[in-house]
Amino acid sequence: MSSITTVSGSNFMSDVVQRPGVSVVRFWAPWCPPCKRMALIYDELAREMGSHAYFTELDIDQAPEVAGGLGIRSVPTMLVFKDGELVDGVAGLTHKATYASCIQAHL
């Protein structure tokens, strides 16, 4: 079982970009209903795949500079980093299998 780490503007570089291996980031906002639905899916993915990837989440209202710097234009958005490089992502609410495939492709 894996937990999801909350990242911020101050620790995004150290917790995601400078981290070896696969890191997955869920960008969300508290005012976003689809983000709340995605949170349930993301929790399941973290439990199922957490031994292979590092799962994090970032509230775009708390770190707009990170979201803007990565070109996040809508939430929810999930990005996958491998050894610090952005390698994939999924924008919007979709099926669990779509998110899982995106992550699995980089493990």
Active-site positions read: 32, 35
> Looking up tokens 């957490």, which residue turns up?
50
Question: How is residue 44 written in tokens?
Answer: 């399941």
In this structure, are residues 4 and 24 in contact, taking their beta carbons and an 8 Å threshold?
no
Return the amino acid letter for 20: P
Rounded distance between C-alpha atoms, residue 99 and residue 93, angstroms: 9
In this structure, are residues 90 and 42 in contact, taking their beta carbons and an 8 Å threshold?
no
In this structure, are residues 4 and 42 in contact, taking their beta carbons and an 8 Å threshold?
yes
